[in-house]
Amino acid sequence: MLERALDALGFDPVNDRVLSVGDLIDRGPESADCLALLEAPWFHAVMGNHEDMMLRRLAGDPGAAALHLENGGEWLHGRRHPEEEPRLAANVEAAAKLPHLITVGGGNGECYHVVHAELPTGAATVVTDSELEAGIDMDPAHLLWTRKLMLGGGEGVPERAPGLSTTYCGHTPHPQVRRRRSHVCLDTGAVFACLTGDETAGALTMVERQYGREMALHRFAP
């Protein structure tokens, strides 16, 4: 699905880049191939909760193993020997080094952020660009797992948060892209279309950015 989408957009691997909100694995039948995207110099991703589950499972966490198997991790069953699959082992090692947050731009200029779930938010506040640039401490579990912002009632929640630039995220699927407190949730349920074969069940959404701004949203069915 991603390859077809990139072809449709005329993607140039020399000059263009793809930034992913994470969960490269467990979302369809080609998890190992999707993890191998980390080999590409044009591909950049943040850590998703599924990468986190995989890594904790491989580290011997029994709770994580059960949770991972329940959530699409069966593809990894019986594949825990790096000497037998050196490419997979190298890509797992690369996944362990994924950041929880990517910021593009900054330094008093235009910027945007990429996170898997969401940045810390309070009743009426959200973390700011200046705090992120200063390296504010944030709970990794919050960045990977929280759905407070996207599952909360959307009515009355502003699209923009003062002091925070556009922050692209995923994790919480919905038929439509949602914008809340500077977060733009791009998860439009591609996993459901892949797993069920029903093209109406979900789609892959990509943002095209050029010249420091958002140019277009693109939606691709399986």
Distance CA(213)–CA(166), nearest Å, equals 10
Position 39: which residue type?
A: E
Distance CA(20)–CA(34), nearest Å, equals 11
Cross-strand partners of 210: 213
Distance CA(21)–CA(113), nearest Å, equals 10
| Structure tokens that stand for 82 in this block | 């790096």
Q: Can 171 be counted among the known catalytic residues? A: no
Helix (H) or strand (E) holding 192: helix 190-196
Q: Which member of 44, 50, 68, 81 is catalytic?
A: 50
- What is the set of active-site residues? 50
